[in-house]
Amino acid sequence: MIGPQTMARKILARKAGRSSVATGEFILVDVDVALANDITAPVAIDEFRKAGGERVNRPEAVVLVADHFAPNKDIQSAEQVQKIRNFAREQGISRYFDVGRMGIEHVLLPEAGLVNPGDLVVGADSHTCTHGALGAFACGVGSTDIAGVFMTGKAWLRVPETIRVRLEGSLQGEVSGKDLILHLISRLGVDGANYQALEFTGPGVEALSMEGRLTVSNMAVESGAKTGLFPVDARTLDFLEPLAIDSEPLAGDDGAGYAREWMIDLDRLTAQVAYPHLPSNCRDVDAAERDRIPVDQVVIGSCTNGRIEDLRAAARILRGRRVHPSLRCIIIPGSQAVSLQAIREGLTEIFIEAGCAVSTPTCGPCLGGFMGILAAGERCLATTNRNFIGRMGHPKSEVYLASPATAAATALAGTICGPNHI
Amino acid sequence: MLIKGPVFRFGDHVNTDEIIAARYLNRSDMKELADFLMEDIRPGFGRRPDLPGAVLAAGWNFGCGSSREHAPQVIRSAGIAAVVARSFARIFLRNAVNIGLPVIQLPDCDGIGEGDRLEIDVESGRLINVTQEREYSCAPYPGFMREIMRYGGWLAYARSLQSGQGN
């Protein structure tokens, strides 16, 4: 008799080839998707070779994406991308995504149908937890872990405790998944869920769009969490149907021994802004407005908020208006598909007419790579995921985090501004 | 493994962008990157001549943020012998263990100060602050992680498990 189980335990037991696994236990799991990018894959390749690796065990399980510094920003990044491109060719890794076909990895994989519910996904990128939105056990790991998957097809994991977050009601107006996860991080703290899984449940889940869920799961790691799991429900199945992915509902069980249970009332949630230098440092957007914070740059994009729904939210606010003359607004669609969709819907035209720069997909400025680096003393409001010291450029620059709607409103106002005040 | 060295003291929530900023990661030679260890919060730190054999001590949630394994690799390349912290972020902890860098979780490490001399017995979890004449006992690694450390890293252990030599 196994009894009620968390979603994490259900998936991990299956991937360990067992009927059940216990919380806290260390297990070896079969990996369905092993993901690495142009920063972390070169290190994985080096470690694989140093350990005497020659042939990748299951090339079909490997996904390599050149997204962080691509299109190559300089000679050194060109050499790193060349290294993973050559490795993919040599090893017969067909899921290598280069410029023109790539997207930001966590935008690309779900839309390309590379992640199935119930999958075990490890990625040498901390935001791999994004794929928990599809009901996959997906967690960030390191390059050596990916080298280990190259060698054996497996990874080691500790079965995590789970914090269950019950969502009631539904998001109102321009309040989005980003505001929800910022609010949760500010309540949990940046290490409040360290080593644990988050599992979302309750009637509010149903009303949350797939894009919204991906945003929420994406930033689970900013509370220290290993993954952020959504149940596989009718909305997940609808999202997967055009991708020819067949799946079954999956959810955690009531009474499964959750470490903690929280409740968030979506009806009452307001737009949030995270001040420097921690994502947990949140204030209500009305309070941020009262602080009259001038902004030099707005960035709308990233693995957190580079999906079509995010661009639609920004376009609703920017349509027919001009960005404030004192700032630059950079919009980065998360993938080629998102880019094309934005053009087809006329969003790109709205952005350019408003005075925004529209980029090809890349992680770019989010991690201080390129395409919008800040000088000393400059301030950016971004839809990205981290506002650490020096994250987007000079150590004396500042990043504020918010939703696409708040970012678009700020771009018009010139100071931090909520979507309801435009 | 017995480690003896002086402490460089850091605060809470030291993230991997601070340990090694992403703007340097267009290359992956860890020796070269070691020059920029902690550059944004302590400029010039990675170029100090006295890092080999030293110990980093920090507060809560050391290594939070990005999964970049460059963080523990650069700490090791700089010659740092171990990291002691009140707690470690999950991915940093697994990356450090995976490459065989000793990381010691010590809930009571607030008293450890800059320049204190430490002696750490990694296997037994015994830590002595020689300067302050204080002794601490840290929780030992869970068995699985101890095995990874015993093999010097995950890939060596994974290989032994695969060939059926592991226990």
Q: What is the pLDDT of residues A164-199, one digit of tens each?
A: 999 999 999 999 999 999 999 999 999 999 999 999
- Domain B2-139: what homologous superfamily? Aconitase, domain 4 (3.20.19.10)
Using the Cβ of A54 and the Cβ atoms of chain B, whether some distance falls under 8 Å is answered with: no
Domain membership of residue A96 (yes or no) is yes
Which pLDDT score, from 0 to 100, does residue B167 have? 45
Domain membership of residue A2 (yes or no) is no
Q: Quick one: average pLDDT of B144-156?
A: 96
Helix (H) or strand (E) holding A83: helix A75-91
CB contact under 8 A, A156 and B91: no
Question: Are A242 and A280 part of one and the same domain?
Answer: no
Domain membership of residue A352 (yes or no) is yes
Distance, in Å, from the CA atom of A293 to the CA atom of A272, rounded to the nearest integer, reads 15
Question: Which positions in chain A touch B13 (Cβ < 8 Å)?
Answer: 190-191, 278
Domain boundaries, chain B: 2-139
Distances (CA, A) of A32 to A29, A104, A155, A246, B26: 9, 20, 10, 16, 28
Q: Which residue of chain A is at minimal alpha-carbon distance from B100?
A: A144
Q: Which of residues 123-142 of A touch B (CB under 8 A)?
A: 123-126, 128, 140-142
Q: What DSSP state is assigned to residue B142?
A: P
Question: Are A41 and A134 part of one and the same domain?
Answer: yes
Q: Which of residues 247-276 of A touch B (CB under 8 A)?
A: none
Question: Are A261 and A316 part of one and the same domain?
Answer: no
Between CA A381 and CA A392, with CA A386 as vertex, the angle to 5 degrees is: 65
Which pLDDT score, from 0 to 100, does residue B166 have? 46
Interface A–B counts its CB contacts (< 8 A) at: 143
Average pLDDT over all residues of chain B: 95
Q: How many domains does chain A have?
A: 2
Contact A115, A128 (CB under 8 A): no
CA A79 to chain centre: 26
Domain boundary pick from A207, A235, A266: A266
Question: Which positions in chain B touch A128 (Cβ < 8 Å)?
Answer: 67
Q: Which of residues 328-367 of A touch B (CB under 8 A)?
A: 367
Per the structure, the complete domain to which residue A279 belongs is given by 274-421
Residue B165 has pLDDT above 80, yes or no: no
Using the Cβ of B59 and the Cβ atoms of chain A, whether some distance falls under 8 Å is answered with: no
Domain membership of residue A1 (yes or no) is no
Residue B164 has pLDDT above 90, yes or no: no
Domain membership of residue A101 (yes or no) is yes
Distance, in Å, from the CA atom of A203 to the CA atom of B122, rounded to the nearest integer, reads 48
Please report the ipTM that was assigned to this predicted complex.
0.97
Question: Are A290 and A258 part of one and the same domain?
Answer: no
Question: Are A89 and A206 part of one and the same domain?
Answer: yes
Question: Which positions in chain A touch B98 (Cβ < 8 Å)?
Answer: 142, 144-145, 148
The residue among A369, A358, A302, A306 whose CA lies nearest residue A328 is A358
CB contact under 8 A, A46 and B28: yes
First-residue to last-residue Cα distance in chain A: 58
Distance, in Å, from the CA atom of A325 to the CA atom of A355, rounded to the nearest integer, reads 9
Question: Are A58 and A114 part of one and the same domain?
Answer: yes
The residue among A273, A252, A270 whose CA lies nearest residue A261 is A252
Which one-letter amino acid corresponds to residue B73? Q
Report residue A260 as tokens: 């903690």
Domain membership of residue A90 (yes or no) is yes
> Which residues 6+ apart lie within 8 Å of A379 measured at CB?
A293, A294, A295, A296, A297, A397, A398, A399, A400
Question: Are A262 and A287 part of one and the same domain?
Answer: no
Question: Are A261 and A371 part of one and the same domain?
Answer: no
Q: What DSSP state is assigned to residue A61?
A: G
CB contact under 8 A, B142 and A158: yes
CB contact under 8 A, A26 and B87: no
CB contact under 8 A, B23 and A69: no
Kindly give the parts of chain A with pLDDT less than 50. none
Across A381-392, b (16+ Cβ under 10 Å) vs e yields: bbbbbbbbbbbb
CATH (domain of A372): 3.30.499.10
Distance, in Å, from the CA atom of A166 to the CA atom of A175, rounded to the nearest integer, reads 18
Share of chain B above pLDDT 90, in %: 89
Question: Are A149 and A287 part of one and the same domain?
Answer: no
Question: Are A218 and A116 part of one and the same domain?
Answer: yes
Q: What is the pLDDT of residues A57-78, one digit of tens each?
A: 999 999 999 999 999 999 999 9
Domain boundary pick from A266, A301, A329: A266
Which pLDDT score, from 0 to 100, does residue B153 have? 97
Question: Are A240 and A384 part of one and the same domain?
Answer: no
CB contact under 8 A, A367 and B66: yes
Q: Quick one: average pLDDT of B27-38?
A: 97
